[in-house]
Amino acid sequence: MNIYGPRFNLYFLPVVVCLLAAGCAGTLFHHEKKQVALLRIHGESETSAAGPTKTISVLRSQPVEVNITTDPILTEADVVAARLLDAPGGFAVEVKFEDMGSWRLEQYSAMNPGKHLVIFAQWGKTLADGRWLAAPLIARRMAGGTLVFTPDATHVEMEPWIKGLNEAAKKNAEQKSK
């Protein structure tokens, strides 16, 4: 019984090379990474009765120390959409949350008037940039599932973060629809 392995490999080799070249062309020549964004919204905590806490510094020009719970109330997984808004004297960030995120925001804000929500963000292609952006005061119950705040960042810094949040929201929506 004769087996002609080398002849088979000669015909098979160009096919494999073509398939590999076509597959690699998609990754080698279209090597644009998507923007990545993280969002962590923590609540202000006076004592450790609510669980583990830590003290962080918010705002770069005039730092303010705030004691927060280490577990976030909301994350980028709860975001439906985010956008930059023009505001008097600058801009603001608007983040819209899905149903469960809206409910958590409403419940937390209703139970904690006079306290702060502390917002941490990371953005970029490698999450190299990141910091505490804001600590808006809870004046009243936040119904409607939308949080608007003025970040301690430039408009240029916030654009990739907003883009990354919207990409994460789109990905989460696709996963939920499956």
Residue 168: burial class (beta carbons within 10 Å; 0-12, 13-18, 19+): buried
In this model, does residue 20 exceed pLDDT 80?
Answer: no
* Averaged pLDDT for residues 113-140: 88
pLDDT band at 29, cuts 50/70/90?
very low
Q: Which two tokens stand for residue 20?
A: 């590999």
Q: How far is CA 72 from the centre of its chain?
A: 13
13-22, 24-33, 77-86, 150-159, range with the lowest pLDDT: 24-33
User: What does the domain layout of the chain look like in residue ranges?
Assistant: 1-32, 36-177
Query: What is the structure's pLDDT at 31?
Result: 42
pLDDT digits (tens, 9 = 90+) for 93-118: 999 999 999 999 999 999 999 999 99
pLDDT band at 87, cuts 50/70/90?
confident
* Averaged pLDDT for residues 146-166: 93
Q: What is the CATH number of domain 36-177?
A: 3.30.1360.200
Report the predicted TM-score, pTM, of the whole model to 2 decimal places: 0.76
* Averaged pLDDT for residues 124-136: 81
